[in-house]
Amino acid sequence: MRTRRRSAGVLLAGLWVWAAAAPAVAQQADRVERLHVDEIVAGPDGREEVELYIRAETRYGAPVEALGSRDVSIRDNGGTIPASDVQVFPLDESGRGATIVLALDVSRTMKGDPFERARAAALSYVDRMGPDDRISVLSFSDRVDVLVTFKDGKSRARELVRDLEIDRKALTTVLFDGAYKAVDVIRRTRDLPKRSFVIVFSDGKDDGSRATLDEVVDLAVGEAGASRIPVFTIGFDRFGGGSLKSLLNLSRGTNAEAFFAQSPELVASYFDEIWGQMLHSYVVRYPADLDGGHHSIEVTIGSQSDTLSVAYPSLGGGNALWVVSGALVLLIGIGAFYMRRPPSAGRLIFLEGPRKGETVMLGKPQLTIGALADNDIVVPSPAVSRYHAQLQCRGRYVEIKDVGSSNGTFVNGTNVRSCPLEPGDTVRIGDIDLVYER
């Protein structure tokens, strides 16, 4: 039909184009057999509208392209959004960018061609990054190391990935700890692109992780109203497939896909396929009444539907009565907070090193300690591991846990894996002493 001769009249030509295009649009929607709503962003850039981040795929995981507003049906708390108010953009045309975390298994069982191809694929991801994209790369063997942070530029990221090597001394593989950290760096970092995903490359064998499969899935799926972070997995079938079940369950639990490479040559192609899936996902935008209430959003394309909930912020009017009322509610809330807030977990005071004399208040349920800048408590010393220890705070109860550091964590001179802290305890991180006070 594309080679048909020009018709006698412009009007007839226009009608023919419309008639020819309409079935094609419907056919695209009918091809959608997997639909995922991963994120809802209320009021981006201060506008009274909502953005959805969705993936529409065929039965085989290929992205369905060329979807438009007529293909996407949206219900907000049961009310249908008019198609004329809906805008649909492919991610690569939206200007929103993507957040990517690559978690690479560097244990001894991965040595050789599989690892080399995975490292080359990671370098390819760095090269493909656009100005709006952010990437982090971590490795795991018997410990987890964040190699590339979201703040690193392309040249630095390439250098760090290029120098990555197999850890030939590691006797275990903390697969679930690596996957947990990959999701956690997204959850803990602000101002990242909302389209986010994780890729885990491994042979699927886990030895000694502190995190469990269920904990990784729970963190990726998030609580009610939180974004969903799909965790794609690429398993190299070195052991005949028996050890890859955990990778399959990890991806299934996070609405992502698992790829099993029976030969090293397939590894790079699977990285490319995941990149294509996410690059050809969609941003859907429509005006909304940002009333501060809880909203359930249902998206339907063809025969497929998915639902995600979010609490909208309030961007309503600004007359004086509402301002005064809001200020009064805020003051009451602040007073209630200070009257009812739990007792302080205490503080850590640096006794030596570059931060000698500084005090860190323990104001979060969980804090990380290490040499890298994205830790809650940064201890600048070559003897301190990148992620050295972790503090768990429940009311006035504080427990410190070593997370596989090279030089250990000590409490009052004793090397500990985990230990509750009492006022006056001295904590040694690498070669830096701190004292815990309440």
Q: Measure the CA–CA gap between 278 and 264, rounded to whole angstroms.
A: 23
Can you list the alpha helix ranges (DSSP code H) found in 43-100?
91-94
Strand pairing class (98-105; 134-140): parallel
How many Cβ atoms from other residues are within 10 Å of residue 95's Cβ?
12
The predicted structure's pLDDT at residue 32: 85
Mean pLDDT by 10 residues, the chain (438 residues): 34 39 54 89 77 90 88 93 92 88 92 91 92 93 92 89 91 92 92 93 89 93 82 80 80 92 88 90 90 89 90 60 45 50 75 88 88 89 91 86 90 88 90 90
The predicted structure's pLDDT at residue 186: 94
The predicted structure's pLDDT at residue 325: 43
Structure tokens at 338: 């200070």
Pick from 216, 270, 264: nearest CA to 238 = 264
The predicted structure's pLDDT at residue 236: 86
How many Cβ atoms from other residues are within 10 Å of residue 374's Cβ?
17
The predicted structure's pLDDT at residue 315: 63
Q: Measure the CA–CA gap between 61 and 34, rounded to whole angstroms.
A: 8
Give 152-185 as a DSSP string: --HHHHHHHHHT----TT-----HHHHHHHHHHH
Residue 40 in 3-state DSSP?
Answer: strand
The torsion angle over the Cα atoms of residues 187, 191, 195 and 196, rounded to 10 degrees, is -30
The predicted structure's pLDDT at residue 10: 36
Q: How far is CA 82 from CA 23, 48, 72, 210, in A?
A: 21, 16, 10, 48
The predicted structure's pLDDT at residue 123: 95
Type of residue at 389: A
